[in-house]
């Protein structure tokens, strides 16, 4: 039986990027904006979602985050 640590380490970066993209699009970013942000692991996903939730336009949020 694999440990939680080995399962966590087996997640591919592409899978993480796809999940981040889906979360960003669900939050309100366009596909292109989501791809740009999802591809940058240094962009905090929670901050990106929170900016939109607080009313920041997506275009401005992308400029802030990138």
Report the candidate in 17, 27, 18 with the shortest Cα–Cα distance to residue 56: 27
Q: What is the C-alpha to C-alpha distance for residues 40 and 26, in angstroms, rounded to an integer?
A: 18
Locate the domains of the chain by residue range.
4-65
Mean pLDDT, residues 36-54 = 97
Report the candidate in 26, 32, 30 with the shortest Cα–Cα distance to residue 49: 26
Mind listing the pLDDT tens digit for each residue in 28-40? 999 999 999 999 9
Does the pLDDT of residue 7 top 60, yes or no? no
Does the pLDDT of residue 6 top 60, yes or no? no
Whole-prediction pTM: 0.81
pLDDT given for residue 17 in this prediction: 93
């Amino acid at each position: 039986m694999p440990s939680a640590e080995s399962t966590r380490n087996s997640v591919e970066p592409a899978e993480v990027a796809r999940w981040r993209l889906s979360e960003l699009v669900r939050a309100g970013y366009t596909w292109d904006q989501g791809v740009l942000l999802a591809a940058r692991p240094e962009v905090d996903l929670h901050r990106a979602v929170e900016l939109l939730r607080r009313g920041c336009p997506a275009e401005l949020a992308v400029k802030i985050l990138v």
